[in-house]
Every structure is written in C-alpha cells, then in structure tokens.
Structure 1
Amino acid sequence: MKTDNSNIDDLREVLHWIRNLVTGRLKIHFSQIDDYLVENIAFSEETTGLASFAITHQPTFIEFAVLALSYVPHIQPDFFNKIIAEYLPDGGDFPEFGCVKGTNHRGILPTGETAQFIIAGDDIGKRIAVQRLFSSEHWFAKEHVLWLEQVREGEPAMSGRMIMNPEIVELLTLGTVSKPSFSIDFPAEHIETEMDWDDLVLPETTFRQIQEIEQWIACNETLINDWGMKKRIKPGYRALFYGPPGTGKTLTAMLLGKQTGNEVFRIDLSRVISKYIGETEKNLARLFDKAENKNWILFFDEADALFGKRTDIRDAHDKYANQEVAYLLQRVENYNGLVILASNQRSNIDNAFSRRFQNIIPFPMPRPEERLSIWKKTIPQQLPLDMDLDIENIALRYELSGAAILNIIQYCSIQLLADTAPFLTAEMLDAAVRREYIKEGRIT
C-alpha cells in the first residue's frame, strides 16, 4: 500500500465528493435547488488505501456515501460544523441533520439519521435502504467495518453515532494497518521467531500432523469457495497441542505463522478471564472481532484456564463459568482462521472442545536420540568443550525438554563468557542440569 501523495489526492477527492453530496442535500432542504447530481468518485491509483478498499468491497453509491460520512471527521474535524454554519450562520436547532457531540471531539459527529437525511432526504424508501446498511447481515457488520453506537432504550436506533473500525480509518488514511498493541482491550501479544523448521526437533508423527495444518492454510480457500464446501463445513481450523512445558508448542505456532505468512498472536488468558459476570465474554468478543478476516493464528497458551472441563452446576459461579466456556466454544467454532490451544495434558481440555478439533497433536518429551539432536543444534560453535565431555551420554542420562536444554546452554555460555572457566566441562554441565532440575521442582 502506498502512503504517498496518491493517497492524499484520494483523500482530497473524498472530501470534495462528500461535500458536494452534503451541500446538495442542504440546498434542496433550504429550497435553493430542486435536484442535484453527484458523480461517482475517481481514485488516482489502485494501490492506495482508499482505492484498494473500494476495489475489494465494491461499495454501492449509498454504501460509499455512508462510509465517507462516517470517515470525514477523522481527517477534517470541523467538516460538518463549517457546512452547517453556511446555512445556519446564526446557529439554531437542526434536528433533521442528526449529528451529535462527542466526548473529546470538539466538532459534531454523524449518526445514522445524518446518513438518512443526506442520502435520502424525505424519501421513505431511500431512508429504509440506508437503515438496512446497519443490519447484522450487511457486510459492514459482518466484516466489522462500520456500525451504529447503541442508544438508550426507547430512542431510535438510527440516532446512534456511526462508528468506523479504527483499523479501517487507519487503512483509508495511511494505506496500511499497524499490528495491534498488547493492552487491556487487546490481551494478545504478537509473537515471531528467527528460528526455522530445521531448528525444531519433534517426532515424525508430530511433524506429519503439523504439515496437515499447513495444507489446510494453503488449500482452504479453494475448498470453501471453488469446491462449494462453504455450506457444509464450519470456517476455520482448530488444533490442540498438548505436552509438557518446553516441548515446542509455542515455537511450532510461530513457525506455522512464519511459513504461511500469517501473524501469530498469543492470548494472555489472565487478561481475558474476569471475576465479574459477563466481562470474560466481552473480552473474548473484542479479541475475536479484532482478529476476524485477518488470517491471524490465535494461540491460546495454557488453555486449561478457560477451555478446561466444565463443572456440575452447584452455585451461580459454576453457572456463569459454564456460560463462559459455551460462549468461547461458539466464537472458536465461528472464527475463520486457525486457532491453536496449548495444554500440558490432553485430559485437561473439556470433551466439548475435543470433539471440535480437526487435529490433536502430541508434543511428548524428547527421546534420547531427539535430545542428542537438540543438544547438537543448540550448542553454539563458539562454545569451547572439554575433550572428555560426552554429549551423547548427557543426552542419554538426563530427560530434558528442548526449552530446558536451551536454558542450560545459555547458562553455561554466560559462565564461560564471564571467564569463570576456559571450556565447558562435564562437571559444569552436570551442575547446570541439576540447577535446571531444581527450577522445575524435580529435585530439591
């Protein structure tokens, strides 16, 4: 996407176009003209944010007008104030126009009623057509592009402020959308790795199952659209990674993202789960709404906290806890991308989830030959080894995960870099292994 003068030219064109539309309606309203014509907008290049969005979604005249009305305050805050002042220089009430005041914004912001007035005037049929754009079945809602702010009970729904997805605002303005930052509103961390598949040591059966996920990512669009399977199968792909800590679950998720060009986000369940009724569902809704239609890989680490077995209902807390699981199950099933759940034990995950996984992949503790491969791949070439150090014997004697081996090598390397020894001896490595065992609580 370009963020150069081409996009700026398109922004100017949109401002000019929507101004003609608004002023034309106001001239009719104040009996200055009987009718007016606004031609379709012409964009400068297909690579700008605005042009690309228009080509992708092919909005109708009415759809584009609604989008432009909700967008202009983001690039020209006083847009509506200036135009209204031209026709009401002394001020006064103008309920037909339908704008509202914001909390921080000093100008006025368009509502659904604003769109109805400017596009349809008093034409009931056209006003209904505008209202249909805000239904849950329209692509505005389905793709989380634009929606109406909820109003108090009893007030007309169209009096709600038009809200454009901030990511769409960024795309139309800058031509690109930045990755979301970890926050209370988005409890997920973007993760990536410089490692490659050759750095990962797993059993052959596990690798074959991982390749099935790659194949789904590569072939899903063809299967759903070209082969007509959209009506028969649910969107997305759900996989469970289970095994002891440090066996490669997170690294595999990152490598899948790297291999397929999809962003990977690790969900912080401590930020998602709330003791307050309904808050967990809201947190999950924000997360999935943000991720929808972006081909993100959502990685739920230590998923037992939220995807664990449901309990018998003994009190209100159990009831709402089970509702959270049911809601989560629904969102996971309807997500059109890849969802990976990671757990230390397969038995910890509720059977209601297990039945809906396309793939359940074990990540066992590495066997001696796999541990030897991990040791060899992990030890840097610059690390001097004692001639008597037998790595094969170390791999055979100590049952360690890949992450534990990496911790040991890091510790030993720092010790040598600090000039505490000229080379790595068997005694030093044994002591480092014991140190790791103590950290894991395997010995005292």
Structure 2
Amino acid sequence: MQKQLLYLLAHANYVEQLTVMRLRSFFSMAGNVDDLLHPPASEQAGLALPSYFLQLPAQEKMVLHIALAPFLRPAFFDRLIQEFLPNGGDIIEMGGVKNAGNHRGFLPTGETALFIIAGNDIEKRLEIQRLLMGESVLVKENILYLEPVKEGEPPMSGRLVVAPEWFSRLLLGKEQLPVFGPDFPAKPVSTLLDWDDLVIAEKTREQLDDIRTWLQHNTTLVDRWKLRRVIKPGYRVLFYGPPGTGKTLTATLIGKEFGRDVFRIDLSQVVSKYIGETEKNLEKIFQRAENRDWILFFDEADALFGKRSNVQSSHDRYANQEVAYLLQRVEDFPGLVILASNFKNNIDKAFMRRFNAVVHFPVPCPAERHKLWQTILPASGTLERGIQLKEIAEKYELSGSAIVQAVHYASLRAFSKGDLIIEKKELLAGIRREFEKEDRVFK
C-alpha cells in the first residue's frame, strides 16, 4: 500500500512540474516543456497492478495521472492556476470543469490533457486525441474514459473519468466492487462451502471440468496457438435443472476456486416494460464487467433469454429485439457468462447454438440424497435413535435446498427446546413442509 501511494505521489509531483512548465510557456515565461515529457522512473515492484498497466507508454501514463491528480490533492489544478491568475479567471485553452456535483474545484478534461502534454503542437494533440478516442490501452481496458458531451460540443471537453473499480485499485491497492443499484443492477454472491459440500451427479461434475479448463488455459491457448482470430471471446454456459439442485452454488464455487467475483443479475431491476430500458440496464452491467474477470450469473434466465415469439404486435417486435440484443451482447462478452434455467427448452434456440457448455443438474438420486443428508446435518446435533437416513433418502425425493430447509426446521425445533437431539417426528415435519410447498402428497 505504501509503495502504491509513493508511486502515485511521484507521478503527481511530475504532473505538477509539467503543468507549471506548460503554464509558464503559455504566459511567455521561460521554460522548456520538452525537458519534462518523460514520466519519472519509479520502483514498480510490489505494486498491486497488472504488468500491462505498468508498461504503459509515457503519454498514456501522463493522461492517467492528470486524471488522478485532483483525487490526491483536491485543489491540485486550482492552486497552480491561481499562481498565474492571482485575481481569478479561466484559461480556456486548459479546459477543465468546475463545480461538477459536490466537488467545487477544477476537474481535468480531455482538453486539459492536450494542453499540458501537447500545448500547441498539432501532431501531438492529434495523437493524444486518438488515444482518448479508443486507441489507448487505458480506454480499451475500461480504466479511463472521456465523459460524453452534448451534441455539437468538442468531444475533448468531456471530463477525464477513471473507472470506479480502477480508482480504488490504484489508490487503495485493491478493487472495490460496484454498489448494487440502478446503475449496477447486480449483486455479488459468495459461499462458505467448498466443492466437497456440493453433491451432484457424476456426469454433471465431469461437465463442470470443461469450464475449469477454459478458465485455466484459454488465454494461453489463444495467444500461443494464435487462435484469437477464429475463437470468439468469452465462454457461455447454461445450467438447467429443477430448483434447489445446486446451480447457484456451483457458480459461486467456480468463482471461489478461481478468485473471481460472481455477480447475480437482479432481473427485477433489469427487466422494464418501457421500450429500450431493459437493454440500457443490461448494458450498464456488461460495460462495468468488461475486462474485469467477473462471472455474470443470470438466474431464472428464461425471463430474458426465452424463446422469441411470432410478431403479432409491436410489443412482440420489441421483445424480440431485446433477445436479439442479448444474443449479440453475450456473444461479445469476453468473460464467463452463466445462465440458469429450470427447463432447457425455455431458452431461445439461437442461444442454445452459442453455448460452449450445457450442464444438466438433475434431481439427486437416492444415493446422492443420502450423502446430502449426511453432509447437511449439524455436527453438534444428535439424531434420535431409530432414524435411518438411507431409508429417508430413498423414500422422499427432495432437492439439496429442500433437504437444507428440512434440516433447518428440525434443528430449530430441537434447539428451541434446549435439546441436542433431533427427533424423527420433527425431521418428518420438515420434510412434509417441503412437500407441501410443491403441492406434493406426503406419505
């Protein structure tokens, strides 16, 4: 953390020197800006930053640290400008915006970067503009971007914005996850369980190995074997099967194993009755997730990825447009996308053709249910004599989550009585409750 701060402060001091030198030149004072056009060499070992970031070209580093300067010192640019305009005033050529929201000081724009780095050098100005308009690694990796401006205004007058996750990563040494809300309708999901706690069919477990293989080796494969031009980015998976069979838990375990954050898309915040709003809500998620190594998990995906219908009204036409948008966006996403559905046939066939893997989560068989009962029962509780878990597993067809609920109910009943013994009648009562939820007959 201390090394990271020293790294940023060294570059902030450099930006200050460069800005002062550019202002002196602008006001026809002595000073040669070209002498300062190379950022300081600083110790980079131990920084919590990817190698491609540390190897950025000099101009891209300058743009980034110009954008970061006010975050390190709130009055960074205001103080420097005041030295040259003690009676107040603006330097139009320097760009910048003031009073942007709660911040009362000068915030740099694309024009600020052009002024400080290039001055009146047209070739250099055009080069920086090309970087900011999409050629820079910073822009491609969604580290930094130009804030959109009103139609007809110069695009370089847009504010230089560092993505929130990267701002946290640069200043604090760790990535801060986005906050759930209208601007990011997805929630992180995690688990305290491990793979040994997941009881699924052997065939299902084998199919999950394909996802592991992609996560472990795909980046190296496409680079070393030069397959990037023919293999589409990302990996798309469908988990299908009845509720409670382990689809969500599996997604979180994959994230846990590979150190990746898993975000479950909140469909209540995404799907909108207004035309075009659903696509906008989803785009917010995909944009924030680009190049972040996040796993996007669409639970109950039928609501978004369901079959397209015959066009009989304008509503049908726009609903089909949503599916078409999703089809393209999911296909372009470079990370892992997992869709979960109760029924495979509910998903539009156009998506089915594009899935890299389709994994079935069936209702557990008696042997698997027996193992689930053994795994889920609390270590501190004791079963009443005469309870045969194998017999219960064979007799009552339950999903993993239903077994958890039944055990939870019976354990609460025992605990509330100050008893460590889980009685058979309470266990059966818990099972009956689960049957009743599904309108099934309990015998």
TM-score range for the pair, normalised by the shorter chain length = over 0.9
Question: Per-residue CA shift, 1:125-172, capped at 9, x if unaligned?
Answer: 111111101223432222111111111111111111111112222222
1:336/1:9 Cα in 2 relative to 1: closer, same or farther (>3 Å)? Answer: same
Q: How big is each residue's C-alpha offset from its partner over 1:351-400, in whole Å with a ceiling of 9 and x where there is no partner?
A: 11111101111111111222122112222343322332222221122111
State the SS of the aligned residue for 1:163.
Answer: strand
Q: How many pairs are equivalent?
A: 439
1:71-220 matched pairs, under 5 angstroms: 71-101=68-98, 102-220=100-218
C-alpha deviation, 1:292, in angstroms: 1.8
Q: Is the 8 A contact 1:388 1:425 kept in 2?
A: no
1:33–1:248 CA distance, 2 compared to 1 (3 A) = same
- Three-state SS of the structure 2 residue aligned to 1:134 is helix
- Segments of 5+ residues of structure 1 without an aligned counterpart are none
**Does 1:242 find its partner at 2:240?**
yes
Q: CA deviation at 1:249?
A: 0.6
Report if aligned partners of 2:298, 2:340 keep a CA contact under 8 Å in 1. yes
The corresponding residue for 2:40 is 41
Q: Give the unaligned 5+ runs of structure 2.
A: none
TM-score, normalised on structure 1?
0.93
Give the CA RMSD over aligned residues. Answer: 2.0
Residues 241 and 249 in structure 1, CA contact (< 8 A), matched pair in contact too: yes
Q: Which moved more, 1:33-42 or 1:304-313?
A: 33-42
Q: Secondary structure, in 3 states, of the residue corresponding to 1:140?
A: helix
SS in 1 for 2:94: coil
| TM-score normalised over the length of structure 2 | 0.94
With 301-310 and 173-182 compared, the bigger mean Cα shift is at 173-182
CA contact (8 A) 1:100 1:109 kept: yes
- Name the % identity: 49
AA in 1 matched with 2:201: P
384-393 or 341-350: which moved more? 384-393
Q: Distance between the aligned counterparts of 1:96 and 1:162, measured in 2?
A: 16
**Mapped partners of 1:433, 1:379: distance in 2:** 14
Aligned residue in 2 for 1:383: 381
Distance 1:369 1:82, change over 3 A: same
- Whether the aligned pair in 2 keeps the contact of 1:390 and 1:426 (CA below 8 Å) is no
Q: Secondary structure at the match of 1:342?
A: strand
| Aligned with 1:251 (options 227, 249, 252) | 249
Deviation at 1:218, TM superposition (A): 0.9
AA in 2 matched with 1:368: P
Q: Which of 213, 216, 224 pairs up with 1:226?
A: 224
Runs of 4+ in structure 1 displaced over 4 angstroms?
none
Distance 1:375 1:382 in 2: 15
After superposition, what is the alpha-carbon deviation per residue over 1:250-283, rounded to whole angstroms, capped at 9, x for unaligned? 1111111222222222111111112223222222
**Aligned equivalents of 1:442, 1:193: Cα separation in 2:** 30
Deviations 1:87-134 (A, max 9, x none): 122223421111122122111111111211221111111111111012
Task: Check 1:325–1:55 CA distance in 2 against 1; reply closer, same or farther (3 A cut).
Answer: closer
